[in-house]
A = this chain, B = another copy of it.
């Protein structure tokens, strides 16, 4: 059984990506990160998803949050709510965390090399997304090239592959695919700015993309939103 490192945030996309890696017959080593993100509840979600989808090992690496200063996800800046989703892809919002996917993939690459794995999965998506530069296909392809120059394995002629199976899927397609694969979305967490009990706000970009996805898939989202959102919609 081939090994793969899967980046697992605990969100809907990464849970689906993990299920795809399992369906493709990989033995999965899931990697999560703690970087004082506002939505630290996502780490608990990642743990549940990892157990639910039977990974071989789940590791959470701590990253000095100072490195990421300046994003609404890590610093005391308000997470924007209720903006027009039509903007996505055209501007980079304040929730962008500098070089985050570059750092996450670098860690995955190090761990893959230690494990003798040549496959890394990331749930990046460039359709229903927030317009982050490091979610685009050209970024993923460039990182794959880097991986093959950066490592002992790459130099020995073994090829690293960075799999981003969701990259061109809509949120609705992702949810349908995950449901076919048996993903329990009640375990996942998407909100950038959860309430004290971990409940989703329903109004940030991430909540809105999620809601839109379930709606378009003709399915009901099994997680609860704050009452305010339910009232408004």
Contacts and interface: CB of A to CB of B under 8 A. Distances in A.
Interface in A50-109: 59, 61-62, 64, 66-70, 92, 96, 98-103, 106-107, 109
Nearest to A34: B64
- State the copy count for this chain: 2
A-side interface size class: 35 or more
A98 B96 CA distance: 28
B139 A146 contact: yes
Contacts of A92: 152, 155
Contacts of A146: 102, 139, 142-143, 146
Given A151-B98, A155-B92, A67 B111 contact: yes
A165 interface: no
A109 B114 contact: no
B151 A99 contact: yes
Given A64-B61, A67-B61, A109 B98 contact: yes
B110 A150 contact: no
A3 interface: no
Contacts of A109: 98-99, 102
B61 A98 contact: no
Contacts of A67: 61, 107, 110-111, 114
28 contacts: A59-B66, A62-B62, A67-B114, A68-B110, A68-B114, A70-B113, A98-B111, A98-B113, A98-B114, A98-B151, A98-B152, A99-B109, A99-B110, A99-B113, A101-B150, A102-B106, A102-B110, A102-B147, A103-B103, A133-B149, A133-B151, A133-B152, A133-B154, A133-B155, A138-B149, A142-B145, A143-B146, A145-B145
Interface of A: 59, 61-62, 64, 66-70, 92, 96, 98-103, 106-107, 109-111, 113-114, 133-134, 136, 138-139, 142-143, 145-147, 149-152, 154-155
